[in-house]
Amino acid sequence: MSAALDAKGSPADRGSSSVQGLEPVDLPDVFQVDVAVSVRDALELLGATRRLHGVEVTLELPEAPVIARVSRRRLEQVLLLLVAHAVDAMTPEAPAVRVVVDPPDDFGDVGPRFQVVIPGVNLSERETRSVVLSPLRVGGPQRRLARARELVDAMGGELSLEQLDEGTGVSVQLPAPGLASF
């Protein structure tokens, strides 16, 4: 998607709802977001910047909105870090990276969850433990995971790594909305 820019680099046509441009950073952050929309936006940005390097990313999204009460900017930063890590960690013969979004439970006890599945990749125990360290103390590709974990912690969520039959899953459990159905 391309948008016309004026001399200052701002979208030239602010009145059109079909033109989507970059938001100024001084606008207030949004604290109620649809996780599925944030996933699509992050993938669109990674694709536009050619950061996916031709790797296919498949999405498994529910039809209904998956609302989370977190910072939209932080959530999108986490998604960018996790998908970029997955793309860099993949082997050439592996199938596509998968991003799976699960809605919160009906009672508000368990928040929304998403998982980035990296097929054909198995992290060592040392690499898995390094994710809990500061990103400044972690080298190589695990630095993105450690930074994503810091951002998830700041949002009140939890990042975990799982060894799956098909590879590695990086799961993010977002905070529970609390009594959402009542």
Please provide the distance, in angstroms rounded to a whole number, between the alpha carbons at the two ends of the chain.
Answer: 40
pTM of the model: 0.77
Rounded to an integer, the average pLDDT of 15-24 is 47
124-136 in b/e form (b: 16+ CB < 10 A) is: eeebbebbeeebe
How far apart, in whole angstroms, are the C-alpha atoms of residue 40 and residue 147?
Answer: 21
Contact 142, 130 (CB under 8 A): yes
What is the Rg, in whole angstroms, of the alpha carbon atoms belonging to the chain? 17
pLDDT tens digits, residue range 62-87?
999 999 989 999 999 999 999 999 99
Is residue 129 pLDDT above 60, yes or no? Answer: yes
pLDDT tens digits, residue range 22-61?
555 565 666 889 999 999 999 999 999 998 888 899 999 9
pLDDT of residue 169: 92
pLDDT of residue 124: 75
pLDDT of residue 100: 96
How far apart, in whole angstroms, are the C-alpha atoms of residue 74 and residue 51?
Answer: 19
H helix or E strand, kind and range, residue 41: helix 35-48
pLDDT of residue 79: 96
pLDDT tens digits, residue range 84-123?
999 988 877 777 899 999 998 887 788 999 999 999 888 7
